[in-house]
Structure 1
Amino acid sequence: MDSNAFIKDYLEKHQKLIHSLPQAKIAELISIYEKAWQEERQMFVCGNGGSASNASHFITDLSKAASDKMSKPFKGMCLNEHMSWITALGNDYAYEDIFVRQLMNFAQAGDLFMVLSVSGNSPNLVKAVKWAKDKGVYTIALVGGKPCQLADLADFVIALEETHYGRVEDAQMGICHMVCYAFIEKV
């Protein structure tokens, strides 16, 4: 294996993806979060695998670092963080219920619910977004470049022009950082 050629190719494709990010959509996403903050809405986020880690990182930055710079805190919750609850829900109901059952306890009409997914077809995310939409929760999906259920379901979608899991997850985290740093740096 030629590691140098691999790295060069990976970075070239990553840079192409970064340059293709939809800046106007990201600005709109920042505005969506600002409005929810102004209205003191709850903000939920989740994902699977690497997207779960990105969801956790995002809500930490939003609820801690961004909140530190604002006149009042963001009310954020990552649905990936409650391991005993997740395992109880998965065991007693089904794995596809691990997020929707948490939303049932907390989400109200007008709140935000963002999912991060590369495939955009995870049954647990799809089920949670469907429930949220039915209850008047505003839904957001950051997804990869393949046609997917979440892109068809969510109220607001940013679909990246890439299908490589690593690059999509890197770019999604970049978008999440832009949302948070817009508030941290008071853009």
Structure 2
Amino acid sequence: MEQFILTEINEHRQALDAVLAQLVPVIGEAAKNVINAVKKGNKVLIFGNGGSAADAQHIAAEFTGRFVKERRGLPAIALTTDTSAMTAISNDYGYARIFARQVEALAVPGDVVIGISTSGNSENVIKGLEAGKQIGCYTLGLSGRDGGAMNSLCDLNIVIPVNTTARVQEMHILIGHILCAAIDNEF
């Protein structure tokens, strides 16, 4: 059991090392763009599937509530929380449109649309990002592996260059927390 646990921790460390070696400037660029949008009065829309849906909710809650510092609530919506909208859209338009339809309804030019997909290829995440792009939103991706189809759709796609879904998700929430800390420092 101890060896198993050490292997898991070492995989996490390797993913973290990849983030440190390759992604610090990219995360900084993402933080600046999110901060600039919020300062201009725009909002953040976040979405993903499964664990990425939970991450979307987690990050949105840190914006609207607070992360560490006491500050005013900031506009962020996880598009994964309205079960009535999600089931109606799925029923009427198909599951692939659950995020795109909500982005069409809620986004305005200048908003930030954050799509989270460990593979970078989730169809509904891709369609949500496409909808944001068409509206004139800043599109930010959190993906893994090689970034998948999200590479060509996002203004900036933060790709965790590992293949293990759990390690990608662990880095995604770290990056989400870094974005929240950067927001705290500005507001």
TM over 0.5: yes
Using the size of structure 1 for normalisation, the TM-score is: 0.92
The corresponding residue for 1:75 is: 75
Contact 1:45–1:55 (CA<8 Å) still a contact in 2? yes
Q: Secondary structure at the match of 2:139?
A: strand
- What CA RMSD, in Å, does the superposition of the two structures yield over aligned residues? 1.7
Per the TM alignment, residue 84 of structure 1 is displaced from its structure 2 partner at its CA by: 1.1
Contact 1:40–1:74 (CA<8 Å) still a contact in 2? no
Contact 1:51–1:117 (CA<8 Å) still a contact in 2? yes
1:117/1:77 Cα in 2 relative to 1: closer, same or farther (>3 Å)? same
Report runs of 4+ in structure 1 exceeding 6 Å deviation.
Answer: none
Instruction: Identify unmatched segments of 5+ residues in structure 1.
Output: none
Instruction: Identify unmatched segments of 5+ residues in structure 2.
Output: none
The corresponding residue for 1:59 is: 60
Using the size of structure 2 for normalisation, the TM-score is: 0.92
Task: Give CA-to-partner distance per residue, 1:73-103, whole Å, 9 cap, x none.
Answer: 3211100010111011101110001111111
The corresponding residue for 1:14 is: 12
The corresponding residue for 2:49 is: 48
- 1: CA distance, partners of 2:157 / 2:150: 8
Aligned residues: percent identity? 28
Does residue 35 of structure 1 match 2:36? yes
- 1: CA distance, partners of 2:146 / 2:124: 18
**In the alignment, residue 47 of structure 1 is paired with which amino acid?**
G
Per the TM alignment, residue 109 of structure 1 is displaced from its structure 2 partner at its CA by: 1.1
Task: Give CA-to-partner distance per residue, 1:114-141, whole Å, 9 cap, x none.
Answer: 0111011111111111121122111000
The corresponding residue for 1:162 is: 162
Does residue 95 of structure 1 match 2:91? no
The corresponding residue for 2:179 is: 179
- 2: CA distance, partners of 1:134 / 1:46: 17
Task: Give CA-to-partner distance per residue, 1:13-58, whole Å, 9 cap, x none.
Answer: 1111112211111111111111011101021000001000011000
**In the alignment, residue 13 of structure 1 is paired with which amino acid?**
E
Per the TM alignment, residue 174 of structure 1 is displaced from its structure 2 partner at its CA by: 0.5
Q: Secondary structure at the match of 1:69?
A: coil
Q: Secondary structure at the match of 2:158?
A: strand
- 2: CA distance, partners of 1:179 / 1:65: 12
**In the alignment, residue 137 of structure 1 is paired with which amino acid?**
C
Q: Secondary structure at the match of 2:65?
A: helix
**In the alignment, residue 39 of structure 1 is paired with which amino acid?**
K
